[in-house]
């Protein structure tokens, strides 16, 4: 692998990270990463009707109630953010 190939791969990765929030970046901490994963999962559950119906049957709830519950969980899927050190 040449230096130009490495630069090209890094520039493509930076472009993806700027375009799509869920791909992360070098300064992303564990909490923000987990937050993105959880929100993406809940959005996928809501967007795919058969998966939403599966969850509704498994929890013995209506599909609308499951959709509402997932949307509520999207607000704080990992709890409150940790305290940050002010340097």
Q: What is the 3-state secondary structure (H, E, C) of 38-74?
A: HHHHHHHHHHCHHHHHHHHHHCCCCHHHHHHHHHHHC
Q: Reduced to 3 states, what is the DSSP secondary structure of residue 76? A: coil
Q: What pTM was estimated for this model as a whole?
A: 0.73
Domain boundaries, the chain: 29-76
Residues 6+ apart with CB under 8 A from 44: 51
Q: Which of 22, 23, 21, 37 is nearest to 77 (CA)?
A: 37
Cα→Cα distances 30→34, 39, 58, Å: 6, 14, 30
pLDDT in tens, 1-50: 666 666 678 788 778 777 777 677 667 788 888 888 899 999 999 999 99
């Amino acid at each position: 692998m040449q230096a130009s190939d490495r630069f090209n791969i890094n520039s493509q990765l930076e472009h993806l990270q700027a375009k799509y929030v869920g791909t992360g970046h070098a300064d992303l901490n564990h909490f923000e990463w987990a937050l993105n994963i959880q929100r993406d999962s809940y959005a996928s559950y809501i967007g795919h009707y058969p998966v939403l119906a599966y969850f509704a049957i498994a929890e013995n709830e209506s599909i609308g109630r499951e959709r509402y519950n997932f949307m509520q969980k999207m607000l704080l899927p990992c709890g409150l953010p940790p305290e940050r050190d002010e340097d």
